[in-house]
Amino acid sequence: MYTSKSRRSMRVMGLVLLLAFLLSSVAIAAPAPEKPSVTAASAIVMDYDTGEVLYEKDADTMRVPASMTKVMTAYIIFEELEAGNLTLDTMVPISAANAQRSRDGSNYPASVPLPAGSSVSVDTLLKLILVPSASASCIVMAEYISGSEAAFVQRMNATAQRLGMTAEYKNSHGAHVHYLTARSQAILVREFIHRFPQILDYTSLTGVSFNGKWYPNTNKLLPGLDYAYSGVDGFKTGTISAAGYCLSATAVKNGHRIISVVMKSSNDRTRHTDSRALLDYGFAMVEYQSPYADVAYHWCREDVASLKDLGVELHASGDSFRPDEVITRAEFTAMLYTALERSNALPELPETASPEETTAPENTTLPEETPASEEITLPEETPVPEEPVQTEPLFYDIYGHWAQDYIQKAAQLDLITGTDGYFTPDRPITRQEMMVVLDRCLELPDENGLGFSDDDDIALWALEAAARTSAAGLFQGGNGNTLRPEATCSRAEAVTVLSRVIDML
């Protein structure tokens, strides 16, 4: 048997547990990540997907990049490969002068001896430039591409200007002093990966063998090396006395890429520990800035964030957007209507479908017109019934639905239609259905963007809409240039399409 004292103790304990539960249920905003402690003179962290700078320290001061210079040299080599002026198998001759430079560790540090009078492939020279940071190999490629290193340097500076960099290149290798900013190096790395993603096949190498000798990568953030950081697949170090220790790096976590740059660190260890701290902070900021926990590293993150900021109804569940779930007809209608509303782009009401328009109840017979001279006398005890005022009828299956108001308004604007009075709001929407809806609400030019391998799968009722929306760039094919018109759309795909819609309004 419980005593009164024990019962009071149990009640107190129950109240404590209840209070703890209630407090745990309160959503408390997570604090912003603490900024990294960086010893390097200049540093920057950039979101690869958006170009957003997540952290910077004196990022616009011109500093000596040392061998990070070689990133621009490699970028121009890749431009030549793209243009067809080179192939990876192209054999490049090694002059006696360059063979001598390749052995001159005092004036051209990071020396990798090249055989005079022979030829080395572009592929091998790229590996020597990017992995052990061979300076003479840069001069070999510069002379082969532009006729002289001086002419090549002019191209380096012109390329930097085109990319929006602040740089003053004076050589192709960085063994001698010239200047650029940490921000500019991050811009170049981002552009390089975006335009030539195959560069990561080189920068991710932990070492390279040449003429019987193994040369390790100087970027020790790579897997298995001294300062290994999960997800790192490049980029480039730089070290001379005037520069201190520099390192540009990039890493991927859950499909999201971050770029970091440090310049003028005091030693090899700190440039790597600084870079690790910067990458940690960059990924933490991506999570912190994410509009929903489950899109922090998702490819749709930027579109979800922009639509949420605009005030679009995304039908999220607390801190979950559910990007990979299929989107229903109701969800897409709510997203579309609020996106157009917030962008001041809702179409005008059709003349025949005003929201104030009234309709007579079904099965009601109106009396014939009564001549003005006749008077109708009703019994006093019989009140004259007031005829109910009705708005445009709703679909039968949306009463009480969370999206009822959005569906009703969209229907009045003729953006959506149902079948036999039903809308089926919770049925997933297909790509071709989405095309038809967008074609109804946008004034798209009558152009044909088709030409996909599965054009024959498009229903006849969706063919014209598919042609116009594809031409406008709202829908794109997948692998093998397929459109997948009958496939259902995910919520992530829907926000991407709506972001494109907003961009073209």
Catalytically annotated residues: 67, 70, 133
**Alpha-helix residue ranges (DSSP H) falling in 199-260:** 200-203
- The token duo for 284 is 């933490």
What pairs with residue 429 in β-bridges?
Answer: none
CA distance 287 to 221: 22
CA distance 356 to 266: 74
Contacts of 78 (CB under 8 A, 6+ apart): 192, 195, 196, 198, 199
- The token duo for 145 is 């591409």
Contacts of 431 (CB under 8 A, 6+ apart): 475, 483, 484, 485, 486, 487, 488, 489
Listed residue (131, 115, 112) closest to 123, CA to CA:
131
Q: What is the DSSP letter of 266?
A: S
CB atoms within 10 A of CB 14: 10
Q: What is the DSSP string of 362-396?
A: TT-PPPPPPPTT------TTSPPPPPPP--SPPPT
CA distance 46 to 32: 17
CA torsion sign, 54 to 55 to 61 to 63?
Answer: negative
Are 43 and 219 in contact by the 8 Å Cβ rule? The answer is no
Residue the block writes with tokens 């952290």: 55
CA distance 318 to 316: 6
**Alpha-helix residue ranges (DSSP H) falling in 294-343:** 301-310, 329-342
Listed residue (143, 136, 146, 141) closest to 100, CA to CA:
136
Listed residue (203, 183, 193) closest to 65, CA to CA:
183
Q: Please tell me the chain's helix, strand, coil percentages from 3-state DSSP, rounded to the nearest 5.
A: 40, 15, 45
CA distance 7 to 327: 52
- The token duo for 391 is 């708005």
Cα 244–chain centre separation: 34
Listed residue (292, 231, 237) closest to 258, CA to CA:
231
Distance in Å from the first CA to the final CA of the chain: 74
